[in-house]
Amino acid sequence: MDIEHETTDVVICGCGPTGAMLSAYLGRMSIPHVVIEKEAEITTDPRGIALDEDGIRALQGVGIYDAIYSDIGTCMGKFKFIGGTDRVLDKKAFLEMDYGTTEGGTGHVGFICHKQPVLEKYLRIAMASSNFCQLRTNATMVDIREEGDHVYSQYRDAQGKIHSLKSHFLVGADGKTGFTRKSFMEPLGIRMEQAHQSFYDETWVALNWEISLPTETTHPDFPLWKLGYTPEQVYDLFFPENFRFVCNPDRPAVCGRFGLPSDRLWRFEFVVLAGEDGQEMSNPENIEKVVFPYITHPGGKYGLIQDITFPEDCILVLRSRPFRFAARSCNKWSHGRVVLCGDAAHVFPPFGGQGIASGFRDAISLAWRLVLLCRRQPSTKPSNHEEVLSGWYIERKQQLERSLASTIENGRFVTQGNPLKIFLRNWSLYFMHFIPSWRRDLRLGRRKEGMVPYKYSPGLPFDLAHKGGTFLRQVYCKPVGGSGDVCFSDDIIFGKAKKGIFQLLVYLRDVNELTAAREAVSRIAEISKGELYCAEVTYLIGMLDIDSNAVTKDASSVYHLATGAEFARSPLCRGRPEPEYYDPHQLGKTLGGNKFVLVRPDRIVYAACDNDSQLEEEVSEAVAYLHA
């Protein structure tokens, strides 16, 4: 008897951050899909807590920017690297990086510390905002097979009933132990391998605490009340702001607040040493030995005789679990029409906050390719999905290797135990601070590594000769001809209602170039085979001040640059630091005078050029790629 299959374009296994982000982008691009999630509800355990500026940009891209600083998290501020074997958190750092600045090319701060359950809640809201997503929770994938132009899969619901799905593609975003890789991919020879020449594989214990404030009523004998300290001041003393990388050669650790300030959540991670058992080290008695010295202050600091420990009954343990941290990646991320992304495809050490962000990058760069391939169905032409997915893998591996290298280098600072190397590290950093440019680079951290262009390989969807493969900088802008609010450039280039896969940005040096640019775009749109819509083109004037009378025709798609000060006064800056080091002209500088910019949905430049004939050529090549 034939099995009746429910049909859809894409099946996503797993609704963690990566799967949810992929679903949200597919929904915005009108691709029907089904998401299978084994858990009944969002996991309440705050696992990942750090998200870099690319990740923030991804959240902005699915329309949930307003919730970032009101509900999801807060800016991480400074990363302080502290050394020595004494377990003190407020000592002077030998290296300090300020990730509260806006210098990385995205318009966002460097990092936020978030509550993952709340992050996932808003991603699911973004998923539900389209009519193209069907989320099936409490559902377990039990079978995947490829046949012809489709993937056939089956899942079991909470009542034990088996359901069958037929899709053009299936994406495994179900983690490193998920069904897709373990049961389908590994028998086909796809496996996790060492991902970087600097191999890292260690067990750490991850601890989450929720802190309540002691008061004179609840803890009348606490000695700091007599010295005039308030409950909030006591909290700040024992759980200071900013994130600490504790470079203790005896036992490296990482700690800091996460979530909203009002949540009073604190993360402490420490390495499990050789000969120790991770599960035992996460027990209360070992937590007391390893962690409590950091929240115990010598009485002499306050002119007292006895040492002072933060009240243990004001600490609620939300998590205390060992985790294996490694730098690993699968040797292939796809087989036929089945694809791996996020933790199912690669895993990171904990030192760079790249786990969730890399999954987001996977999802966004995969989403538009799935849209491209699904729109071609059905077709009389042979499918080139393996070529398209291979290009995705090649690009993602390039960026993944850079992120891993940066993460592992951060790890060296934290885990270095060789006394000579520690001495050389500290003194080299000390002398580097005397050179202004080096001091500034050290302070700002590794902000632009995510903006390194892709290296070209045959078949990759960008034109290397015309700035293809570079990351599009995001700037603040305002509409011309009115008193509109400041907005992000991504939000006008990649509007939710836009139909084209690639978008055209026209970046003009002067408003007087607008008429000629519009005429050129109108001519070339006619040869784009429906891939370029005049109404979807964005015109951005690279000037801070414009006379609104200079735009004599419709100005609805015309914008000009806004300053950091204007952004600071806008609602977009609410809850986050003002944009220090923001350069409104950074987009124009990276474009190098080119005015016509074809941009992919993952914010990668397909090509940039400066005249009509080049634009016609680039549009023709892009159309050929999109239509295979």
Over the chain, what is the mean pLDDT?
89
- Residue 176's contacts (CB-CB under 8 Å, 6 or more residues apart) are 192, 343, 344, 347
Contact 82, 247 (CB under 8 A): yes
Looking at 3.90.550.10, 3.50.50.60, 1.10.760.10, 3.40.50.300, the CATH number of the domain 6-57+115-196+327-415 comes to: 3.50.50.60
DSSP string, 391-440: HHHHHHHHHHHHHHHHHHHHHHHHH---HHHHHHHHHHHHHHTTSHHHHH
pLDDT for 1 equals 40
73-87, 305-319, 429-443: range with lowest mean pLDDT:
429-443
Mean pLDDT of 573-600: 94
Assign 594 to helix, strand or coil.
coil
Is the pLDDT confidence value at 510 over 50? Answer: yes
Banded pLDDT at 399 (limits 50, 70, 90)? confident
Is the pLDDT confidence value at 408 over 80? Answer: no
pLDDT digits (tens, 9 = 90+) for 278-308: 999 999 999 999 999 999 999 999 999 999 9
Cα 267 from chain centroid (whole Å): 19
Question: Higher confidence at residue 550 or residue 151?
Answer: 151
Mean pLDDT of 189-198: 74
From 192, 168, 167, 193, select the one nearest 182 (Cα to Cα). Answer: 192
pTM: 0.93
Is the pLDDT confidence value at 195 over 70? Answer: no
One fold for 6-57+115-196+327-415 and 470-627: no
pLDDT for 378 equals 61
Mean pLDDT of 56-70: 96
Mean pLDDT of 441-451: 71
Cα R_g (the chain), whole angstroms: 26
Amino acid at 347: V
Is the pLDDT confidence value at 61 over 70? Answer: yes
Q: What values do phi and psi take at 283, rounded to 5?
A: -75, 155
Domain boundaries, the chain: 6-57+115-196+327-415, 420-449, 470-627
32-36, 303-307, 355-359, 599-603: range with lowest mean pLDDT:
355-359
36-50, 319-333, 543-557: range with lowest mean pLDDT:
543-557
181-190, 405-414, 524-533: range with lowest mean pLDDT:
405-414
Q: Which two tokens stand for residue 257?
A: 């607040």
Quick one: the chain helix, strand, coil %, rounded to 5? 35, 25, 40
From 130, 129, 183, select the one nearest 155 (Cα to Cα). Answer: 183
**C-alpha–C-alpha distance, residues 13 and 35, integer Å:** 6
Fold (topology level) of 470-627:
Glutaredoxin (3.40.30)
504 pairs with which residues across the strands? 598
Banded pLDDT at 456 (limits 50, 70, 90)? confident
